[in-house]
Structure 1
Amino acid sequence: MSTPEWAGPGGAGRKWAGREETGREEAAPEWAAPALAAMLGRVAAVRAEVGERFPLFADPADGRWTTTRRGSWTGGFWAGLLWLRARHTGEASDRQAAAACTARLADWVDTDTAARGLILWYGTVLADDEAARRLRDRAAHACLKAFDPELGLVPWGSAFGGPRLVARPDAVPGMVPLLAVADAEAAESHLWTHLELCRGNGAMRHDPSTGWVAHPDPTPGWSRGRAWLLLAVAEAAGRLDAAELRDLTGELTHPLPVPPADDADPDGPLDTSAAAITAVALLELGRRQEAVAVLEELVRVHLAEDGGLREGCYDRVQGVAVRNELVWGDYFLAVGLAELTGLVTR
C-alpha cells in the first residue's frame, strides 16, 4: 500500500501518520506472518457466514457473529478487513467482495454522526479502488458541511440517539484525516477541540446556556477512550504540530499492554480491542518496540487458533459482548500485523 496522504488545502504530499523513519527496515517477528494468515483466513470464513450483512461481535463459545444490515459504526472495519484479505491473496473474488462491501457504506455519507470517520475512513483507506477514493472524497465534503465553526468540531450527531452536541473520543480517529481531505484547518480544529474536551473527561455535551458540561457516556475510565485519542494523534502527527502532539502520547498510552475495559474496575473484563488500537497508533508514531510488545501479547495470549481476537469488550456498562471477538479489534490487530510483515506500508 502506498503512503496515504492528506489532500486538503496545503496538505498535498504530507504523510497520513507521523512515523519517525529510521532509515532501515526491521525484520518482522516470526509469529507475525502466521498470525496474520490465520486472521485473514478467518475473514473468508466470516464472509461466508454473514453474506452481505456486517459482523459486529462474535460469541466466544461458538464463534457465531451478531450482525447488522448497515454496519452501524463498525462497518468500515469489516470493509478494511476484506481489503486486507484481497491484498494478501491477490484474488479477484476477494477484491470484488471488498469493493462491494465498501460501496454499501455509501448510505452513511450524509448521516448525522461523527462516527463517519470510523466508517468511511477505515472503510476506504486500505482500498486500491477508484470508487472507494470517490466515496472518501464525498464523505470528506459531507463531514465538512457538518463542521460547526463556533464549537470547532463536527458534533457526535443524532444518528445513534441522545443529544447531538456531544464531543467523544471515538469522534476523532478517522474523522481528522477524512476532514483534511476537504479542509486541513477544520481537521486541526476538530482534533484539538476534542483533545481539550475529552482527555480525562470521557465525553462532554454542549449546553447553549452554560457551555460544555460533563456527559455520562462514555465514562472517563473507558478503555478505548485514550486509545482512540492516541490513534487520532498518530494520524495527525505528520500534518500538524508534531512536537506538541507528541507531548500528549505518553499521557494517552495505557501502562498495561491489554487494559481493563474500565480503569475503575481493574479486575473486570479486559479490552483487547483497545490494545490493538494502541498498537497501531504506536507503530504510526514510530514507537515500534512498544507496539511489537503489545501485538505479541495479543497474539500469544488472546488470538484463537481460528484467527479471531478474543477478550474484547464492546459495552461493559450495558453488559453487551464483554468478552467477545470484535470486528474492530480484529481489524486493528490485522493492520498492526500487516505493517510488521510489509503487507501494508505507510
Structure 2
Amino acid sequence: MSWAEKALLEVLERSGTVEADAGGRWPLYADPVSGGWTTTARGSWTGGFWTGLLWLRAIMSGDPADRATAISRTASLDPWIWADTGARGLIFWYGTAFGVAEGDALAATLRERAAGACLDAYVPELGLVPWGGAFGGPRELARVDGLPGLMQLLRLAGPDGAVAARTQLDLQFALTAGERQLRPAWQALPDGTWEPHLALPPGWSRTAAWLSLAVADTGDGDRRRALLAHPQVAARFAARSPAVPCARPGGPPDTSAAAIEAVAALKLAARADQHEAARLRDRAAAVLRELVSAHLRDGRLLDGCYDLDHGMATCHELVWGDFFLAVGLAVLTGAIDPFAC
C-alpha cells in the first residue's frame, strides 16, 4: 500500500467514526488537541463536503451500509435549495456529484432542483448569482468562493444556465485576477460598478485555490492559460513554493487551501499538454505528500484556518480540508477520475 493509499484510508475511516458519533449533526471543525468537533444543526455552507466525503467512503468501501449513510446525508441537504446564498454550488455540487455517478436517484433529483434554483437566483443586472444574505452581510457580493460547483450547476440548467455560468466566471475572474494582487470579494455599487469588499481580506489563503478550482472545471484553455499566467497563481503552483500557504501574510498555515489547490492542479493537469500536465501533477503530488507527512494525524488534516480575522478555528481540522485531501489522494492513486466531483 502506497503512502497516498494509506492516508486516504485513514481519512475515510476517520469520517466513518465521526459520522457515527455526530448524532445527525454536521461536523464543521475539530479541536487540534482533543479532536472534538464543533457541529451545526443544518450543515452551514460545508454540508456538501461532509456528504461528499461519506460518498467517497462508500465508493471506496463498497459497503451498502456506507452507501445508505451517504444517501441519508444527501437527503438532509434539501433545505438549502432555496437558501439565499451563492454557496449552493459548494453544497449541492460536492454533495451530489459522487451520488449521481453512483446512480443514486435522490442525488440526481436534488442536483437538478438545485441547478434550477441557482438559475432562478441569477441576477442579469449584476451578471451573477450574488453571495446572498443567508450568512449575514451585504447580499450583492461577488465572492470567489461562490464559483466552484455553482458553475457546474448553472450549466446543468440548460442554455440560459450556461450563459449565466460563463458570464459569472468572466466577471469574477476579471474582478479577482484583474490586478497583480488577487482580490477575493467585491461589492456591487448603485452605478453598476464594483469595489473591493473586506468580507474576505486581500491575501486570503483560499483565493487562488477557489479560483483555480473553478477555472479547472470549465475546460476553457484560454482561461486556464490566463489563470496560470497570473503571478500569484503561478507562485502557488511553482515547484519550489511552500506547499501550504499562510491564512494571510504573516499568519498561520492553512492546509485546507493547500488541499484545494492540489485538487485544482490535478484537474488542470488533466486538460493540459504533456509538459504542463507533468509539472502540475508533480506539484499536486508534492503538496499532498507534505500534507500527509507533516499535517495528517490519525486521519485528521490539522492546521487549517477557518477565519483568522475572527479568531475562529485558526489551527484546526476543517471538514472541507479533509474532503479535498481525500479527493486529491483518490485522484492521485487513480481511484477516481479528476472530474468525478
Of 190, 209, 233, the residue aligned with 1:227 is: 209
**Structure 1, residues 6-28: CA drift from partner, whole Å, max 9, x if none?**
xxxxxxxxxxxxxxxxxxxxxxx
Corresponding position of 2:140: 165
One-letter amino acid matched to 2:127: G
Corresponding position of 2:58: 86
Q: Secondary structure at the match of 1:123?
A: helix
Of 254, 258, 267, the residue aligned with 1:271 is: 254
Aligned pairs, number: 311
Of 30, 33, 39, the residue aligned with 1:58 is: 30
Q: Which deviates more from structure 2 when the two are superposed, residues 170-179 or residues 245-254?
A: 245-254
The 5 A counterparts of 1:93-172 are 93-127=65-99, 128=102, 129-172=104-147
The 5 A counterparts of 1:314-329 are 314-329=306-321
Task: Report the alpha carbon displacement of residue 342 of structure 1 after superposing the two structures with TM.
Answer: 2.2
Task: Report the alpha carbon displacement of residue 210 of structure 1 after superposing the two structures with TM.
Answer: 6.2
Q: Does 1:260 align with 2:246?
A: yes
2:199 and 2:326 mapped to 1: Cα distance? 28
Corresponding position of 1:244: 223
One-letter amino acid matched to 2:83: T
Corresponding position of 2:168: 190
Of 72, 82, 87, the residue aligned with 2:44 is: 72
Matched-pair contact (CA < 8 Å) for 2:126–2:192: no
One-letter amino acid matched to 1:204: W
Corresponding position of 2:275: none
1:206 and 1:54 mapped to 2: Cα distance? 33
Corresponding position of 1:339: 331
Corresponding position of 1:5: none
Q: Secondary structure at the match of 2:209?
A: helix
Structure with higher helix content: 2
In structure 2, the CA distance between the partners of 1:120 and 1:336, relative to structure 1 (3 Å rule), is same
Q: Does 1:42 align with 2:14?
A: yes
Task: Report the alpha carbon displacement of residue 155 of structure 1 after superposing the two structures with TM.
Answer: 0.4
2:56 and 2:91 mapped to 1: Cα distance? 16
2:316 and 2:223 mapped to 1: Cα distance? 36
The 5 A counterparts of 1:272-311 are 272-286=255-269, 287-304=280-297, 306-311=298-303
Matched-pair contact (CA < 8 Å) for 1:41–1:307: yes
Q: Which has the higher contact order (CA 8 A, sep 6+)?
A: 1
One-letter amino acid matched to 1:202: P
Task: Report the alpha carbon displacement of residue 290 of structure 1 after superposing the two structures with TM.
Answer: 1.1
1:282 and 1:55 mapped to 2: Cα distance? 27
Q: Secondary structure at the match of 2:289?
A: helix
1:250 and 1:300 mapped to 2: Cα distance? 30
2:282 and 2:172 mapped to 1: Cα distance? 28
Q: Which deviates more from structure 2 when the two are superposed, residues 241-250 or residues 284-293?
A: 241-250
Corresponding position of 1:20: none
Matched-pair contact (CA < 8 Å) for 1:116–1:175: yes
One-letter amino acid matched to 2:69: A
Matched-pair contact (CA < 8 Å) for 1:87–1:343: no
Task: Report the alpha carbon displacement of residue 257 of structure 1 after superposing the two structures with TM.
Answer: 1.2
Matched-pair contact (CA < 8 Å) for 2:259–2:324: yes
RMSD: 1.3
Matched-pair contact (CA < 8 Å) for 2:256–2:318: yes
1:228 and 1:166 mapped to 2: Cα distance? 16
One-letter amino acid matched to 2:318: L
1:49 and 1:90 mapped to 2: Cα distance? 21
Q: Percent identity?
A: 53
2:35 and 2:82 mapped to 1: Cα distance? 33
Matched-pair contact (CA < 8 Å) for 2:89–2:150: yes
Q: Secondary structure at the match of 2:123?
A: coil
In structure 2, the CA distance between the partners of 1:137 and 1:210, relative to structure 1 (3 Å rule), is closer
Q: Secondary structure at the match of 1:55?
A: strand
Task: Report the alpha carbon displacement of residue 340 of structure 1 after superposing the two structures with TM.
Answer: 1.6
One-letter amino acid matched to 2:260: I
Matched-pair contact (CA < 8 Å) for 2:224–2:268: no
Task: Report the alpha carbon displacement of residue 98 of structure 1 after superposing the two structures with TM.
Answer: 0.3
Matched-pair contact (CA < 8 Å) for 2:243–2:258: yes
2:145 and 2:331 mapped to 1: Cα distance? 23
Q: Secondary structure at the match of 2:110?
A: helix
Task: Report the alpha carbon displacement of residue 250 of structure 1 after superposing the two structures with TM.
Answer: 4.4
